[in-house]
Amino acid sequence: MPILLGLILGIALTIAGAYEFDSSTGRVPNGLTSAAAGGQAPMVNWNVVSDDWHDLTANLHSKAQDLEKNLKQHTG
């Protein structure tokens, strides 16, 4: 029973988190076109989530490479 409750709670928190993110960034699909939200579709669209995830990982990889390069310059 606790596993089922945890699963339901996790799903609810995920949906609430996606909705909160969309509403705080202007991505809520409230009848407006995607151009009204800066051309960004809501996060509940899996293609948007995938694109955002790939952008995040690419940015993190780039920053890690820059950090590694800076550390190598300082250590000689």
CA distance linking residue 7 with residue 1, whole number of Å: 10
pTM of the model: 0.45
Domain ranges of the chain: 1-42, 45-76
| More confident of the two residues 68 and 28 | 68
Query: Each residue of 5-62: pLDDT tens digit?
Result: 999 999 999 888 877 877 776 665 555 555 555 666 666 667 777 888 899 999 999 9
Closest CA to 19 of 38, 42, 40: 42
31: left (phi over 0), alpha (psi -120 to 50) or beta: left
* pLDDT confidence of residue 68: 93
* pLDDT confidence of residue 33: 55
